A and B are shown apart, each in its own frame.
Chain A
Amino acid sequence: MSTEAPARPKLTKAWTAAEPILEVRGLKTYFPVTAGMLQRTVAHVRAVDGVDLTVRQGETLGLVGESGCGKSTLGRSILRLVEPTEGQVIFKGEDLTRLGAAEMRRVRRDMAMIFQDPYASLDPRQTVGEIIGEPLDIHHLYTNKRQRQERIHELLRVVGLNPNFNNRYPHEFSGGQRQRIGIARALAVDPSFIVCDEPISALDVSIQAQIINLLERLQDQFNLTYLFIAHDLSVVKHISDRIAVMYLGKVVELAAAGELYRSPKHPYTGSLLSAIPIPDPKVERGRQRIILKGDVPSPVNPPSGCRFRTRCFKAQDKCAQEVPPLDTVDGHEAACFFPLQGDER
């Protein structure tokens, strides 16, 4: 009864599980701003502006930040759904930014993406079976129709959907069910790395827990590595092994999940964490919150030096002149000249 597991795609370079599965080096993704009749480029939106990240085999790296900080663009640039302007994305020892279109399509068998909006991410004209079967067809994984059908049924079962749903259309399902279909499509090619782009933020709170549990179960079962993009801090804390905090196109802090929550080093992380509501009115009334001044500056023209300095309560002259590097501070990586001390949190 079992359909054979498709063989892993061949890698051009030897890669061992001891190395990080993904390394992002100096990644920049700029979008041109055009004006006038001739569509001249007058400026660039620096959505991702020099990001370095390492994702280890089997872990979940959480990526948080407010709307517009470039976390989705980073996720898409890694998969080259958006062309990066500069930098390297090294996946299993292979620089993805150098691959041609055909080679990139081959690599796509080993990486997948789960999208935020389960309504927009499924083609309304395809049945569930067609949606899940499409990656199998693209990579010619099954020539036998019956095996292909069995694989689709299996995938539906794996994500907790009735296999008999395979000839139904996406509009017949609820948000949570659609997200499961999206997850089944991502799993179809047997990937080892999945970018989850806010996979639960469009769902009801009651459904969110189900999807999170499903993602965790699948990770154990299939040895998956996740880059989990979100803006809900409590969810990220629950699912992530390590967390990266992004602000205006740059990673400002990176640490193990518990560590980051216990003692944030970057003032921005501190202010984010202080915004998590505590479900106890007494504590909530008494606690000190870090309230930031103003709005996020425009990514077209980011502030000099440290990007957070315009809103930072610890900013000094040095912050405007030099860009703080992502340095190791007490086991954290934080990009700040004046990291938070024990009493400031």
Chain B
Amino acid sequence: MAVDQTTITQLEGTPVQYEGGLARPAQSYWSESWERLRGSHFGMFFGGVLVVLAVIAITAPLFSAFVTHLAPTSVNLNDSFAPFSRAHPLGTDELGRDTLTRLVYGARVSLGVGFLTVAIYLLIGGSVGISAGFYGGWWDDLLMRFVDILLAIPTIYLLIMITSMLPLPIGPIIIRHDAFSLSTIIAITVWGTVARLVRGEVLTVKNRDFILATRSIGASNLRLMLRHLLPNVLPVMIVAASLGVGQIILLEAALDFIGLGVQPPTASWGNMLLNAQSYFYHSTSLVILPGICIVLAVLSANIFGNAVRDAFDPRLK
């Protein structure tokens, strides 16, 4: 067949009846879901809190340079356990380090690890789930049995086991207790659930006719997975990720608290708590302030995550 100029003229010569007419503007799944999310004021408020925390975390160096004029690790032993004042709005700790500056830097660790971990485990869980579901057979069996084993070990024990081996030299690089390594380690221990969810969804999607139709026009397996399966399982991944951030922030704080997470003098909310428990009777605010930060971040992440799930889950429509 050749749709050339002659056929077009032929077609336009005969009055072509166009089917139907639509008044409503086109709406994709994404814009529709975004509308729903915007409609949830409660969720959007806590989403806003999360954004504010993220902005503070990103701009922490500016904050320390221009607002408190103190570095998070600058020690001043003459000024230990200072009360709230203009110089130290939230007081100081036992080494005279400014609490507000340390909390702001702590936000970098908590939120950074929270979001980065979720991104990494979506990547691992998504790829494993999609390829296992798509190819099936022995590949599926192999991957899913591995996931079974992973899920059979309690996450926190696995984390303690791995983090207690740090610093761990692997070839030329040494894995330390930094935020990036922690994110990777946490992601490696928790991706199993996402992989299972995604695989299940792929199994239902891959038997729909449009996959066959796309294959019939010559699409490669990679194209089918990335262009057709991924967009169709993305809602499930978003729903799985929405409640993940809060959970990961809590998990990272717990690791810091037992001394296996981010190491002092780098400030994190978890290790500030660990440090402060020795001075609980001396300075209660040192315990309460990081605690409030953790609660606020986790609460915001969870409430916003709930709203995202409600907006994006096609089954809840």
Contacts and interface: CB of A to CB of B under 8 A. Distances in A.
A238 interface: no
Interface of B: 1-5, 7-8, 11, 16-22, 24, 26-29, 208-210, 212-220, 223, 227-228, 231-232
Contacts, number: 130
A1 B18 CA distance: 21
B209 A120 contact: yes
Given A121-B209, A123-B232, A222-B2, A168 B26 contact: yes
Interface stretch (A109-117, A246-254, A293-301): A109-117
Nearest to A3: B3
Contacts of B215: 81
A167 B26 contact: yes
Nearest to A180: B19
B28 A169 contact: yes
Interface string A115-153: 111001111111100000011001100000000000100
B3 A151 contact: yes
3 nearest interchain CB pairs?
A: A222-B1, A5-B2, A108-B218
Contact of A5 (B4, B19, B28, B29): B4
Interface stretch (A59-67, A171-179, A227-235, A329-337): A171-179
A188 interface: yes
Contact of A160 (B5, B17, B232): B17
- Which of A123, A135, A223 gathers most chain B CB within 10 Å? A123
A235 B11 CA distance: 26
Contacts of B223: 138
B1 A134 contact: no
Interface residues of A, number: 63
A206 interface: no
B21 A162 contact: yes
Given A112-B217, A169-B26, A172-B22, A221 B212 contact: no
A2 B232 contact: no
A261 interface: no
Given A2-B5, A224-B1, A165 B22 contact: yes
Contact of B8 (A2, A138, A160): A2
A168 B22 contact: yes
B209 A115 contact: yes
B19 A162 contact: yes
Nearest to A109: B218
Contacts of A191: 1
A135 B19 contact: no
Contact of B213 (A104, A121, A190, A222): A121
25 contacts: A5-B2, A81-B212, A101-B220, A105-B218, A108-B216, A113-B212, A113-B216, A115-B213, A116-B209, A121-B209, A121-B213, A124-B232, A125-B231, A125-B232, A127-B26, A134-B214, A151-B3, A157-B16, A158-B11, A168-B22, A173-B20, A174-B20, A180-B19, A185-B213, A189-B217
Contacts of B2: 5, 190, 222
Contacts of B4: 2, 4-5
